[in-house]
Structure formats: C-alpha cells, structure tokens
C-alpha cells in the first residue's frame, strides 16, 4: 500500500512530523522531489532534527529510506546529514539512492547565488541551494544521473561539454570565475565513491516491495501552492510538489497511491516572494510568528522569518483538491490557543467580485481577503489525546475548516512531538 504525505499550502505544514509518526507503521519512506532547499523539523526520542534531504523515516530501524529519481541529490549534503544523525546517536539508517536520481552540482549552487544577486530586488527569494538551475539543466538534458558517475570516459567528456556552456554564463553574464572541468571531474569521482554503497534500481526494488505487501510512504516537500504547474507561478519551486508526481519521482504506477494524506496548517505561513492573500503584518504577525511551529516560524534552511497569515480556506481547499487529498491532517492547532477570535479567509475579492475559487497568479495579485471570524478557545490544548476533550470552540474551528476543505480531517496535531496527535 502506498500513501503520500504532501502539503496543501506553501510548505512548512508539518509534513515531517506526520511522516515521522506514520513511518512507525511503514516499511519504506521515499523522497520523490525537491532537494535540500526546504527542511523538515522532527522531534523525537533522539532529539530535535532539521532534515533537508533525508526522508523523515530515518529514525526507525525497521524502515528503508529512499532518495528517488525525482530528487535533486546533493551528495556531500546527504553525507553531512547522515553524519549529524550519527553524532546524535541515531542508529545507522538503511538508505537507498536511485541510480536515476540526478546530481546537484557545485555550480548549481553558484549559479543560483549569482542569479539571485543579479535579480537583486526582483529576486524569487531562492534558498540558493541550486534547485532552479538543477531542474533547468535536467530538462535541458545537461544534467548528470547517478548512473553516469560509473562510466569514467563519458563522464569526463560530458563534464567538459557542460563546463563550456556554464562558463559562458559564469564569465559573461555573472562576471565570475570559470569552472575548471578537471577539478569538477575529480569532485564527481569523489561523489561516486561516497554514493556507491547506496545506489539501487529503485523502481525494481519498489516493484518487489509492493508484491510483498510492504507499506510505502511518499514524502512530499513544500506544498500545492509551490507546484510549478498548479501553484503561484513563477513564485514556485522547480519540481512538482503534488502526490501525482510521487509516482514518477519514485518510479511506481500512479494507481498504487491509495491514500493521499494532505497536511494542512491551522494558520498560514510562507517563505519567499509571491501573493499571500491572508497575510498579516506588524505586531499581530510577530505574535503568531513567535508562538508558531516549535519555537517560532523561521525557515529551517535559511533561518528567515516566515511570512504569517490567517487560515486561508480558498487556498487550502484548492491545495487539497489539486493533491487529490483523501484525508487531511490539521497541524499546529495548539499555537492558536492565545487568540480571542480567529479570522478565516473564506473568499477573495477580485475587481469587486467575490470568489471561492483559487485564481491564476495575475488575478491572485489583485485579490483581497474576505474574512469570517470564529471565537477562540483561550486555552492550551497540548497533551490532549481525544477529540472530545478539545474545547467546543476548538472543535468548531476544526469542523469549520473541514467543511471548507471538503476533505475529512482525520488527524489533529496539537504539538511538535511524535505523540502530539489526536486521531479522529
């Protein structure tokens, strides 16, 4: 059985926590897209971890963690992350890396950094992890697959060819030093030695695993609204964040994905530029940011303060629909216990007309929020284990959101820890 865990919003919904929790009952956890540009925060018996590239299943000894072909694989980063687990006493996880995954190159990071600097005030708010240049090169067919590391002659020839292209950009557009193809080739050989023990034909492995009735989790990064096709283009990421892409980025049949657990945040937060209709500012935002997540809403990769907003039913309903959500997990609800009342964005006003449908970016940029206000519950709900124990106004908020989403809310997360969960 395959289950996808994906985000309905702009990312940072708490997918890592839900994955870590559900991994307990799973055999295999797969990252199928993205790279080290976004982080998952996980708190468990080993401590607090910010994982960027490793799947959130690495903390159990019964699971296999897989980097799928859809991922932007930063090899030294992967090893650094494995090392940090070791230092904190986590038993060595079982890791497999797809032989078809492509390698995030040192020049991708440079190109991303140079380009953000060139765009200056008009930048996308990239994390400068090289993700956009990586995926551009993949589709321009000048990327490097893991398998190519094992063919020295072709690798050397290709390294030289790609450097020619990159160096035109580096020297003439960015006025930066050229890449030395020999040095790059040596770097790639060192990558090969690092990754060699983990390389695997992942689709074949998964085919056998499915036949054997294994439980598989597909772990998404970011959320629906950052999807390059269905999100707030161009303020999106460069790989698909949707459950549907899980089939491609892991290498399984689409019909194998039976459950799509869509993680929905009980308020809104976003990083990077782009329209954010229910955004709040000033003290109101500072207060929510300070109380949000676990120790404040600051980016796991960059440390940047996240942009904050009220729950956006228009965006979240769209986010669930485009994921094909079969169920929703509502997270960080505990954070909202301080509020007297909770505004919920139930519509967008665009050019004098109110809509409940999420528009394309051009219109989205003109949208103003229409709010409905619900009463707060004014207490701490952490530690509660049963839905009935939640205060009435809290249940009203959940049930209001559930009606707006048109998806059953099967899990309510009321704290950052593995066991802070209310199953319905």
Q: Looking at the annotation, which residues are catalytic? A: 12, 40
- In the complex with ligand GDP, the residue whose CB is nearer, 42 or 367, is 42
Residue 145 DSSP label: B
Using the minimum distance from each CB to ligand GDP, give the nearer residue, 332 or 384: 332
Q: How far is the CB of 145 from ligand GDP (least distance, A)?
A: 27
Of the listed pieces 33-41, 139-147, 237-245, 397-405, which binds ligand GDP according to CB under 6 A?
Answer: 33-41
Q: Which of 79, 298 has the CB closer to ligand GDP?
A: 298
Residues 36, 402: Cα–Cα separation, whole Å: 32
Give yes or no for residue 414 binding ligand GDP (CB under 6 A): yes
351 torsion bin: left (phi>0), alpha (psi -120 to 50), beta (else): left
Picking from 271, 300, 225, the residue whose alpha carbon sits closest to that of residue 123 is: 271
Q: Return the residues of window 317-376 that contact ligand GDP according to CB under 6 A.
A: 331-332, 334-335
- Shortest gap between Cβ of 295 and ligand GDP (angstroms)? 7
By beta-carbon proximity to ligand GDP, the closer residue of 143 and 417 is: 417
Among 2, 3, 7, 115, binds ligand GDP (CB under 6 A): 7
Do residues 228 and 33 make contact, with C-beta atoms less than 8 angstroms apart? Answer: no
- Using CB under 6 A as the binding rule, the residues of this chain from 299 to 328 that contact ligand GDP are 300
Mark the segment that binds ligand GDP (CB under 6 A) among 5-13, 138-146, 147-155, 363-371: 5-13
Contacts of 247 (CB under 8 A, 6+ apart): 253, 254, 256, 257
Residue number, 149 or 330, with CB nearest to ligand GDP: 330
We find the least distance from the C-beta atom of residue 297 to ligand GDP, in angstroms, to be 8
Q: Say how many C-beta atoms besides its own lie within 10 A of residue 141's C-beta.
A: 6
Number of residues that bind ligand GDP (CB under 6 A): 25
Sign of the dihedral defined by the CA atoms of residues 287, 42, 230, 235, in that order: positive
d(CA 104, CA 101): 10
Tally of CB atoms within 10 A around 79? 14
Q: Which of the ranges 35-43, 75-83, 129-137, 254-262 carries the binding residues for ligand GDP, by CB under 6 A?
A: 35-43
Q: Which residues of 318-353 are buried (b: 16+ CB within 10 A; e: fewer)?
A: bbbbbbebbbbbbbbbbbbbebeebbbbbbbebeee
State yes or no: residue 34 binds ligand GDP (CB under 6 A): no
Q: What whole-number distance in Å separates Cα of residue 98 and Cα of residue 287?
A: 43
17 binds ligand GDP (CB under 6 A): yes
The two tokens of residue 338 are 């301080």
Minimum gap (Å) between residue 290 Cβ and ligand GDP: 12
Residues 266-295 that bind ligand GDP (CB under 6 A): 293-294
- Residue number, 102 or 413, with CB nearest to ligand GDP: 413
Task: Tell me which H or E stretch contains 327.
Answer: strand 327-331
Single residue of 40, 108, 166, 192 touching ligand GDP by CB under 6 A: 40
Nearest approach, Cβ of 294 to ligand GDP (angstroms)? 4
**Residue 123 Cβ, how far from ligand GDP at the closest point, in Å?**
21
Q: How far apart are CA 134 and CA 238, in angstroms?
A: 9
43 touches ligand GDP by CB under 6 A: yes
Q: What is the chain's length? A: 424
Which residues have a Cβ under 8 Å from the Cβ of 348 and sit 6 or more positions away? 277, 314, 354, 355, 356, 358, 359, 364, 367, 368, 369, 370
Of 99 and 227, nearer to ligand GDP (C-beta) is 227
The residues, ordered by sequence, that sit 6+ positions from 52 with a Cβ below 8 Å of its Cβ are 35, 36, 37, 38, 39, 40, 77, 81, 300, 301
According to the binding rule CB under 6 A, does residue 405 interact with ligand GDP? no
Q: Which residues would be at the binding site for ligand GDP (CB under 6 A)?
A: 7, 11-17, 38-41, 43, 293-294, 300, 331-332, 334-335, 413-416, 420
């Amino acid at each position: 059985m395959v289950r996808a865990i994906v985000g309905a919003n702009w990312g940072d919904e708490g997918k890592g926590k839900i994955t870590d929790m559900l991994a307990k009952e799973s055999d295999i956890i797969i990252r199928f897209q993205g790279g080290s540009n976004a982080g998952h925060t996980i708190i468990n018996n080993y401590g607090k971890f910010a994982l960027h590239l490793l799947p959130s299943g690495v903390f159990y000894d019964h699971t296999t963690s897989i980097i799928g072909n859809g991922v932007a694989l930063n090899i030294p980063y992967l090893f650094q992350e494995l090392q940090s687990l070791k230092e904190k006493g986590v038993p060595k996880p079982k890791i497999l890396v797809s032989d078809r995954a492509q390698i995030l190159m040192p020049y991708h990071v440079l190109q991303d950094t140079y380009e953000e600097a060139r765009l200056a005030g008009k930048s996308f708010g990239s994390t400068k992890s090289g993700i956009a240049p990586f995926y551009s090169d993949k589709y321009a067919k000048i990327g490097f697959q893991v398998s190519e590391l094992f063919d020295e002659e072709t690798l050397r020839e290709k390294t030289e060819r790609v450097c020619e292209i990159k160096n035109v950009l580096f020297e003439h557009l960015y006025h930066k030093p050229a890449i030395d193809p020999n040095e790059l080739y040596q770097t790639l050989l060192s990558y090969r030695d690092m990754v060699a023990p983990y390389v695997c034909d992942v689709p074949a492995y998964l085919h056998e695993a499915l036949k054997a009735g294994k439980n598989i989790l597909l772990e998404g990064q970011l959320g629906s609204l950052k999807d390059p096709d269905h999100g707030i283009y161009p303020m999106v990421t460069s790989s698909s964040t949707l459950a549907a892409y899980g089939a491609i980025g892991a290498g399984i049949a689409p019909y194998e994905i039976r459950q799509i657990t869509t993680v929905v945040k009980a308020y809104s937060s976003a990083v990077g530029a782009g329209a954010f209709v229910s955004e709040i500012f000033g003290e109101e935002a500072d207060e929510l940011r300070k109380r949000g997540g676990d120790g404040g809403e600051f980016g796991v990769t960059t440390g940047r303060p996240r942009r904050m907003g009220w729950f956006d039913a228009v965006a979240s309903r769209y986010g669930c629909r485009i994921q094909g959500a079969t169920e929703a997990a509502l997270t960080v609800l505990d954070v909202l216990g301080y509020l007297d009342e909770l505004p919920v964005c139930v519509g967008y006003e665009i050019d004098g007309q109110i809509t409940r449908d999420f528009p394309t970016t051009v219109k989205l940029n003109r949208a103003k929020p229409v709010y409905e206000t619900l009463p707060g519950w004014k207490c701490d709900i952490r530690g509660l284990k049963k839905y009935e124990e939640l205060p009435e106004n809290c249940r009203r908020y959940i049930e209001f959101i559930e009606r707006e989403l048109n998806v059953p809310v099967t899990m309510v997360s009321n704290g950052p820890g593995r066991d802070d969960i209310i199953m319905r």
